[in-house]
Amino acid sequence: MTLTLQLPNADGALARYALRNEAPARLPAQKVAFNRIAYSAAHVVVDPRAAIDPWLQCAVDWDQTLAYRRHLWSLGLGVAEAMDTAQRGMGLDWPTSLELIRRSLDAARDVPGALLASGCGTDHLVLEDVRTIDQVIAGYEAQMAAIEKLGGKLIVMASRALARVATCPADYERVYDRILSQARQPVILHWLGDMFDPALKGYWGSGDVDAAMDTAIGIIQAHPDKVDGIKISLLSKEKEIAMRRRLPASGGSDGQGVRMYTGDDFNYAELIAGDAYAGAAVQRQSDALLGIFDAIAPAASAALAELAQGHVENFRAILDPTVPLSRHIFAAPTRYYKTGVVFMAWLNGHQSHFTMVGGQQSTRSLQHLCELFRLADAAGVLQQPDLALHRMKILCALQGIEN
């Protein structure tokens, strides 16, 4: 049976589209241990029935939110909790984030081998009131204490407050020296480029990426035993490769070296495959901490299982078709990528509605979402094509397009 519907093209003209109905990537019959650590930054599911002002308040559907985390764990993926994919800093406030972390940690205890790391930042501070580095340090310390009290592993998120008040690299060195010195276990550092958050422009004390990288590397080299790895999201494979070759070969959470966690949602397939498959003299590879893995979780899991078995061509055959989809989801303005992630969760039946914290479902156009649907179909990541088609027809009908 051919599944078809009318969709608007980029110019708004309607055209009939037939789903390719590509078979989703199959998971191996027996669970395969990955040879990469792979975290999916996970989205939150809101409660659309809550009697709140949706632009100003946040009501989480805890059951569906935690069910999605169990889905990620069942696929062998870790969960990076309360990060920007969960709309941290774009509607998800610190008290709700801490409750999310608490509930996820509780849920993880029932899942053998579940990986979970949680975002620790300074977003509870009123940005306009922050004037000193000491205020930033105190902000980080407050969230560190709260998360570590729950037994959580930290992802030390880039701080808008620090970017606001820091005047030189030494200010960053002072903050991170203080935080890393106190951490109970190795942390994951977080470098989010200004394409993801304009308020982070000039992070690490310089607008020049190479100079900023020098500062970050210096901080890591000063505390190799307190840094599990660094997640960078610069959308530049060249910068990531250059940095991962400079990371300490000792230290980290397992003593085998500080890891590079790719956050490059444009080039993740080749970065995870690594230098060994490119014939490089210095062979390193990236682990993963990616927002796109939320949207393509079964494909990511199947691909990582192939890589773990040495089947690099199969790994690329599964992941490469998802890259055009990811580049579309993360297209400028990149900070609105969360809309595409939640849209995919709705299409695939992981939540019953397409509503987001702060009404953020409105940040992408109908044409953008229709192209996302076509690319998801081409990538074979629509898990239930008939359901996805039905929900696309609902979306189109809301915009005056009857099918």
Task: Encode pLDDT of 221-274 as tens digits.
Answer: 999 999 999 999 999 999 999 999 999 988 888 878 999 999 999 999 999 999
Task: Quote the pLDDT of residue 281.
Answer: 53
pLDDT for residue 173: 98
Report the C-alpha gap between 15 and 13 in whole angstroms.
Answer: 7
Asked if the structure places residue 210 within a domain, the reply is yes
* CATH code for position 206: 3.20.20.70
| pLDDT given for residue 282 in this prediction | 53
Whether 67 maps to a domain, the answer reads: yes
Q: What is the pLDDT of residue 306?
A: 95
Query: 287: part of which helix (H) or strand (E)?
Result: strand 287-290
- Report pLDDT for 279: 55
3 state SS of 179: helix
Task: List phi, psi (to 5°) of 18.
Answer: -105, 125
Q: Is residue 350 part of a domain?
A: no
- In this model, does residue 194 exceed pLDDT 80? yes
Q: State how far the Cα of 155 lies from the Cα of 81, in Å rounded to an integer.
A: 9
Angle 41-381-391 (CA atoms, 0-180°, nearest 5)? 95
**Confidence category of residue 161, pLDDT binned at 50, 70, 90:** very high
The answer on pLDDT for 123 being more than 80 is yes
Contacts of 142 (CB under 8 A, 6+ apart): 124
Lowest-confidence pick of 107-116, 161-170, 277-286: 277-286
Whether pLDDT at 397 is above 70 = yes
Q: Is residue 375 in a domain?
A: no
C-alpha dist (Å) from residue 63 to 45, 60, 72, 90: 9, 9, 15, 22
CA distance 298 to 71: 9
Length of the chain in terms of residues written: 403
pLDDT for 366 beyond 90: yes
* Residue 266 in tokens: 């444009």
Residue tagged 């509605």 (tokens): 353
pTM of the entire predicted model? 0.95
Is residue 344 in a domain? no
pLDDT of residue 278: 56
How many C-alpha atoms does 120 have within 13 Å on its Cβ side? 29
pLDDT at res. 42: 98
- Determine the pLDDT at residue 335: 94
Which is it for strands 227-233 and 187-192: parallel, antiparallel or unpaired? parallel
pLDDT of residue 12: 87
Bond into 186 cis (ω within 30): no
Specify if 259 maps to a domain. yes
The verdict on residue 297 lying in a domain is yes
At residue 78, the pLDDT reads: 98
Please determine, for residue 283, whether its predicted confidence score (pLDDT) is greater than 80: no
Instruction: Using the predicted structure, report yes or no on whether residue 79 has a pLDDT greater than 70.
Output: yes
Could you tell me which residues come within 8 angstroms of residue 313 by beta carbon, excluding any fewer than 6 positions away?
A: none
Q: Sorting pLDDT into bands at 50, 70 and 90, what band is 105?
A: very high
* Full residue range of the structural domain in which residue 290 is found: 34-313
The bridge status of strand 4-8 relative to strand 14-18 is antiparallel
> What average pLDDT does the structure give for the chain?
94
Per-residue pLDDT tens over the stretch 177-193: 999 999 999 999 999 99
Q: What percent of the chain has pLDDT over 90?
A: 89
Judged against a pLDDT cut of 80, whether residue 95 lies above it is answered with: yes
Task: Count structural domains, the chain.
Answer: 1
Q: What pLDDT, on the 0 to 100 scale, is given for residue 255?
A: 79
What pLDDT, on the 0 to 100 scale, is given for residue 28? 73
pLDDT tens per residue, range 327-358: 999 999 999 999 999 999 999 999 999 999 99
Residue 10 included in any domain: no
